[in-house]
Structure 1
Amino acid sequence: MIRFVLSLFLLTLLMTSQATVAVAQKPSEDELNKLKEQVSAMRRKLDEIRTEWADDRQKHGRSYYIGEQQVWTDYADLSVHIKAAEWIIRHNDFDKKSTYQQTMTALQDADTLLRELQSRKSRNYNAGSQICGYVSKVDHSVQPYALSLPSNFDPSRSSRMPLYVVLHGRGGRNEVGFIAQHREKKPGEKQTWIQIDVFGRIDNAYRWAGETDVFEAIADVSRRFAIDDRHITLWGFSMGGAGAWHLGMHHPSQWASVGAGAGFVDFYNYQKKTEQLPDYQHKPLRIYDTINYGLNLANVHFVTYGGDQDSQLKTSLLMQEQAEKHDVPLELIIGKDIGHKFTPEAEAEFQQFLGRNNRQGLPKYPGPKQIRFVTYTPKYNQCFWCTIEELDEMYEETTVESKYDESSGLLSLETKNCRLLSISRDIADEISIDDEPPLPLRDAADGLLPSVYFEKLDAGWEVFNYDESRAYQELGSGRKRHDLQGPIDDAFMSSFLCVRGTGTPWSDEHQAWTDWTLERFGREFDKWMRGEIRIVNDSEVTLEMMKDSHLILFGDPGSNKLLNGMLEKLPIEWNRQEITVGGKSYPVEKHGLAMIYPNPLNPHKYIVINSGMTTHEPDFKASNSWLFPKLGDIAVLNYSKTDKGYEETTTWADLFNGDWQLNESEE
């Protein structure tokens, strides 16, 4: 039995902090020391709990695995409060007068929850709002979200419930501020659904790991409660509106309804830029610029809102133009005589739209026979029963539109820029693609797989047999496909592991730059993506690590033995004096290579060489619209030492084509 002896100590600190909290935003030295002492004590207690729970074989909420690590939901809920206090201290984020007291309150909440778990052995969920946590597959960090249950919530209820997913606006809310905003809020009077407010790793418009956070929070609440996945609504305002546009348009068959208040949908209009960026940045804008995805409104019930005095009303009007262009529905609500917020009347209408379509829900499996779907990348490649596995040309408009003949059972597809498709066999008996003769669907591949693969060859579309299908699933084709399409930043949306070289570097100057690059990545990811990067030595990498994670390799072929072992299978040449790529050579004492490529030892994962995220602190500080890929798939950087580290300029950068090769003009 765990003996918890910190409660009286914590209560004393809380009473002291209430009496002595400084008027200034920063806590006094005594207050900060007390806070550090309390956080350290709570962290030690959590470590004890982890050990005891691992051995007692009892349930502590729901159990799941992140890699080989077993996680309990109750432990994550405790840990997220402690992490909030730790991050406040490490980043000196006492930005408001109330932050110190809010931090102490978060620790008190952890104290209360722990005592509850000791008495009940499992968390008790109440009507209204409470703070939950989960451990992310991205970096094994614990991340918060707020859970709200309706006033009539019955924990013994066996039927599935609808879910609302709410995205917050930009405003620098750290974990402590997020917890303070959502703890112990009463449920809405008309709330009949479970609601989660997503943290999204603060302010990134739900891009990169912020996007992953949304789906991991949904997965976590679905572990705890019976969620009806045909009745999930997504909405947000301002930055949350931008996130709703992004996630709603890129995953159109995930949501019963979507609502975007204000926000932005593209870089050039929002930033008032007229000069086109270089191709290696311009083309990847099509990953997140939702204005290109208007056709997907055909597949999701969507409402958008803007105040008539809000400059971000332009976003709604731009998307209305796209809806009219493609002849697809979009509900537009404009608030009267108001700026960047809802009017009560408009908010009511907005929520009525979301509720009405949430109750209707998504079509039952296998989905609607008619879809109209567009993408520009295999990253966002699925709409109901159709998956675009590979594109002819990356970052070009890629579409699938379908029709169905009830009398013959024939599904007809019209495609553009599609190279390889997979189609659920349950949607039709036969399929015709681009007016070609029908091919079998329901009975294809011996009827043994849930989806059937179709590849476009010179002679036309052909269907994979069972063996070809299994080979593609296990080995791929060597071409760009879902979650293996780049750019560099894509590696940091799922599990990644930084690998530090321990050998003798070929160049001391280059090694110093890679060491700084790794340090900067860790520092910026910690601050702006709210997690600690995991670092291992090259001698410590196991097959299990290589199976589960993208490998981010730092060093050169002399210092990093994994990089050395893979070098012959990479589209570069590297010796002690220079790096050769794209037909040109660059001296290593002044140049470094940043690159993403499929791992030659695991075709389902990436390697990245000498790069973290390519968006840096100035981008995060400026605007979420600047959080687009800066270096494409591969780049050569000129580096020079400064008093503050290094200054970098991009000497050359490019995007690999769909075959993971540089175009001939670049070689």
Structure 2
Amino acid sequence: MRPLLSALVLLSILPAASRAQLGANGATASFKGSLPPKPTSALDPEKEAGYSRLVDRLQAEFEEVRKHPRSADAAIFLKALRYAIDFDEWYDKKPEDSEKKVLELINEAKKRIFDLKRNETPWLKGAGNKVLGFYSKIDDSAQPYGVEIPEGLEIGAKEIPMWIWLHGRGDTATDLAFVYSKLKATKPGQFRPQGTIVIHPFGRYCNGWKSAGEIDVLECRDDAIAHFKVDVNRIALAGFSMGGAGAWHMGAHYADQWAVVHTGAGFVDVKRYQKLTPEKMPVAYEQTLWGLYDVPDYARNFLNVPLISYSGEQDAQRDSAEYMMEVLGKEGLKPPHLIGAGMGHKYHPETIKEVQALVEKAVEKGRELFPNEIHIQTKTALYGRMKWMNLHGLEESWKDARLDAKVAGAQGIEIQTKNVSRIVFYPPPQVRKGGDKVTVKIDGSELSLTIGPEMPKFETFMSTGPKVAGGFCRLIKENGKWRDFGNAQPFQHEGPEGGKPSAHPGLMDTSFMKRFLVVLPDGKSSSAAVDAWVEAESSHFITRWRSLMRGDARVVKASEIKDVYEAGKTQSLILWGTPESNSCIKALAKSLPFKWDAKDLSPLNPVGNHPALDASTHVPLLTYPALKSAGFEVVINSGLTFREAHDRTNSLQNPKLPDWAILDITQAPSAESAGKVVEAGFFDEKWQVK
């Protein structure tokens, strides 16, 4: 065996990767033409119908226990069966093998429903592999995840560490296959950390751990924390291949959530990974939108969390890790990059031991909630929070923004910024010891701020964070100068005058990362063509959300919304139609940045006159904070903006449209777009058309 090459390997030592990472069309090798793919060996229609009737009967039984705290542990089986039947998700070589999985899930669903009726949960007890569920806050869907509990680990006796393992791409790994594999698993996964549970998020199937997929990771983490008494400061994030890409992405974008991040292979950006030359580049705004997920644009965040990378010596995806080592090196970081000698796209059996030892060491040390230094790099306020500091607003979104803060004595904080307009921070304990004032030196200015009340449960500070009136200090930049915004009131969220906050910094796609409600038309418009397009595209989104994001979107008609402002306080509203056909859009029409009536459609451009477009053949797609409520917004006439053609590789499952667009619907929808884009753009930081 060749000598083991481990941490900090020089890039010049090893040969270049020997095989292509993607096909000639930029698709992943496993792609079978669609997500989910067509069936490999379909079930007999009569048998399938029989299973469907049985699932319906089980669903009726399940309704009796739906309110049980662990009912999601049973719901995941019913959902897996229903989706498999509805989408013909039969991927075994022989129909009887698929039927075996169906029967296993039916029997387990029966058992769990029976036990829940008796208020018992025997599947939670003991060591070994388990499959559990939770209800997502996004759409109330039951989402599965796997858990490994090592022998001898006593749950509940004390707080324990946890690893989160992100799986690789699996085009046929839908709910049925995932739930079955975790139910029948008898062996532990790639890593076997001592005294530690390992959870396996589903990630909403196959989306590169982005969008609802990343929220799935956070939600199943929180479910496991609550049930298994996990130490929130000793959680490791790790993954390989698509999971490695997910670890890169979630490690950089949520760096404050982990004790350590381990990336095994995985892409980190679009342009380099797709090998895009100038003639292949998409439109400018789509290139700008790569800044939502491209990891190099968030590299500096790894100053906040230990990072351990692995690549096979001969793996084409090693290029991405080496590229990140170059980017990180420019930020003063030199994390371990272990190389598996002679390996392709898999772990070396000896190197994996080194990886585990390094991760376990970092987990044992744990996450530091209140470090003396914090570093933030982002292109959107959506990903602006880091431990006790929040880059709350940018001077210009989608351009590089940075914030570096450090504690300077018992009553001081020093902050350096670039392209930042608003900051919210929680004075850490080492500053609070100095009294009720803090001196902030920021970009050459000095301010004295009053410290608000201490947070009672700040030690968790997970995905949502605590809320205490006046607990945060706030800074705002006006006319090039910073001032104290005060901590007695929040930043304004009421529409354009409030600017783009971290809760809603723009992009239609980001509204599907939190709770949303689809609102369909309750009438007709003057254009039969527009009505037909709205009906087809809203239906397309609802089906696509189900097939790709594995949840049933919550849907109502506009007539069911008594007060659109009240309905928008706790959820994003996805409104389909026009002011004529949708009463909710009509109620908001005057607050939207468009002239839009039965005849004409055009953005309200503050500079010059904008020629109107024919409203009978054009529709607007946009996101806008028209609800005047903190953190929620409306989206009009759009679902996810990446479509079926982009599923061929997870690197392309990114937003394809900016804050607003106008489509010519005389061009029929396709696998790449919902129509011909005639105009598109970003709103500025005051929500005005640029």
Change (3 A) 1:154 1:475: farther
In structure 1, how many angstroms separate the alpha carbons of the residues matched to 2:64 and 2:385? 44
Change (3 A) 1:117 1:191: farther
Tell me if the contact between 2:131 and 2:144 (Cα under 8 Å) persists in the aligned partners.
Answer: yes
Structure 1 residues 273-302: Cα deviation after superposition (integer angstroms, max 9, x where no partner): 023432321112111000111111211111
Change (3 A) 1:477 1:230: farther
Whose RCO is larger (CA < 8 A, sep 6+)?
2
Counterpart AA for 2:163: Y
Structure 1 residues 572-591: Cα deviation after superposition (integer angstroms, max 9, x where no partner): 00121121124232112321
State the secondary structure of the residue aligned to 2:271: helix
In structure 2, how many angstroms separate the alpha carbons of the residues matched to 1:106 and 1:329? 47
In structure 2, the partner of 1:64 is none
In structure 2, how many angstroms separate the alpha carbons of the residues matched to 1:601 and 1:352? 50
Match of 2:342 among 333, 337, 341: 337
In structure 2, how many angstroms separate the alpha carbons of the residues matched to 1:618 and 1:412? 47
In structure 2, the partner of 1:640 is 666
In structure 2, how many angstroms separate the alpha carbons of the residues matched to 1:441 and 1:533? 44
**CA shift at 1:29, angstroms?**
3.1
**CA shift at 1:193, angstroms?**
1.3
**CA shift at 1:80, angstroms?**
0.5
Tell me if the contact between 1:127 and 1:186 (Cα under 8 Å) persists in the aligned partners.
Answer: no
Match of 1:439 among 425, 429, 448: 448
Matched, 1:324 2:345: no
- Counting only pairs closer than 5 Å after superposition, residues 451-470 of structure 1 correspond to structure 2 as 451-458=472-479, 460-467=481-488, 469-470=489-490
Matched, 1:96 2:100: no
Matched, 1:482 2:502: yes
In structure 1, the partner of 2:353 is 348
Change (3 A) 1:523 1:644: same
Matched, 1:625 2:651: yes
Matched, 1:83 2:79: yes
- Counting only pairs closer than 5 Å after superposition, residues 331-480 of structure 1 correspond to structure 2 as 331-363=336-368, 365=369, 367-406=370-409, 409-426=411-428, 428=431, 429-440=438-449, 442=451, 449-458=470-479, 460-467=481-488, 469-470=489-490, 472=492, 478-480=498-500
- Counting only pairs closer than 5 Å after superposition, residues 87-166 of structure 1 correspond to structure 2 as 87-97=83-93, 98-119=97-118, 121-123=120-122, 124-157=124-157, 159-166=158-165
Matched, 1:185 2:189: no
In structure 1, how many angstroms separate the alpha carbons of the residues matched to 2:469 and 2:509? 36
Matched, 1:610 2:637: yes
Question: TM-score with structure 1 length normalisation?
Answer: 0.88
- Which is helix-richer, 1 or 2? 1
**CA shift at 1:316, angstroms?**
0.6
Change (3 A) 1:190 1:381: closer
In structure 1, how many angstroms separate the alpha carbons of the residues matched to 2:668 and 2:484? 58
In structure 2, how many angstroms separate the alpha carbons of the residues matched to 1:338 and 1:155? 37
Match of 2:527 among 507, 513, 517: 507
In structure 2, how many angstroms separate the alpha carbons of the residues matched to 1:448 and 1:141? 32
State the secondary structure of the residue aligned to 1:661: coil
Percent sequence identity over aligned pairs: 29
Q: Which moved more, 1:641-650 or 1:106-115?
A: 641-650
Structure 1 residues 142-177: Cα deviation after superposition (integer angstroms, max 9, x where no partner): 1111122221232441x2111111111111210111
Q: Which moved more, 1:84-93 or 1:129-138?
A: 129-138
In structure 1, how many angstroms separate the alpha carbons of the residues matched to 2:262 and 2:253? 14
**CA shift at 1:464, angstroms?**
2.2
State the secondary structure of the residue aligned to 2:350: helix
Tell me if the contact between 2:424 and 2:472 (Cα under 8 Å) persists in the aligned partners.
Answer: yes
Q: Which moved more, 1:108-117 or 1:278-287?
A: 108-117
Q: Which moved more, 1:586-595 or 1:112-121?
A: 112-121
Structure 1 residues 477-509: Cα deviation after superposition (integer angstroms, max 9, x where no partner): 521111311211111111111111212312221
In structure 2, how many angstroms separate the alpha carbons of the residues matched to 1:511 and 1:473? 32
In structure 2, how many angstroms separate the alpha carbons of the residues matched to 1:102 and 1:294? 43
Tell me if the contact between 2:41 and 2:90 (Cα under 8 Å) persists in the aligned partners.
Answer: yes
In structure 1, how many angstroms separate the alpha carbons of the residues matched to 2:426 and 2:612? 48
Tell me if the contact between 2:236 and 2:259 (Cα under 8 Å) persists in the aligned partners.
Answer: yes
Question: TM-score with structure 2 length normalisation?
Answer: 0.85
In structure 1, the partner of 2:511 is 491
In structure 2, the partner of 1:12 is none
Counterpart AA for 1:323: L
In structure 1, how many angstroms separate the alpha carbons of the residues matched to 2:511 and 2:408? 42
In structure 1, the partner of 2:275 is 272
Change (3 A) 1:652 1:345: same
**CA shift at 1:392, angstroms?**
0.4
Match of 1:537 among 550, 554, 557: 557
In structure 1, how many angstroms separate the alpha carbons of the residues matched to 2:496 and 2:660? 22
Structure 1 runs not aligned, ≥5 long: 1-22, 55-59, 61-71
Change (3 A) 1:156 1:248: closer
State the secondary structure of the residue aligned to 2:633: strand
Counterpart AA for 2:342: D
Change (3 A) 1:374 1:25: same
Tell me if the contact between 1:444 and 1:452 (Cα under 8 Å) persists in the aligned partners.
Answer: no
State the secondary structure of the residue aligned to 1:203: coil
In structure 1, the partner of 2:26 is none
**CA shift at 1:530, angstroms?**
0.7
Change (3 A) 1:636 1:156: closer
**CA shift at 1:473, angstroms?**
7.6
CA-atom RMSD in angstroms: 2.4
Tell me if the contact between 1:308 and 1:337 (Cα under 8 Å) persists in the aligned partners.
Answer: yes
In structure 2, how many angstroms separate the alpha carbons of the residues matched to 1:516 and 1:475? 30
Change (3 A) 1:475 1:597: closer
Tell me if the contact between 1:425 and 1:441 (Cα under 8 Å) persists in the aligned partners.
Answer: no
In structure 2, the partner of 1:224 is 227
Tell me if the contact between 2:537 and 2:674 (Cα under 8 Å) persists in the aligned partners.
Answer: no
Tell me if the contact between 2:203 and 2:213 (Cα under 8 Å) persists in the aligned partners.
Answer: yes
In structure 1, how many angstroms separate the alpha carbons of the residues matched to 2:656 and 2:670? 21
State the secondary structure of the residue aligned to 1:589: coil
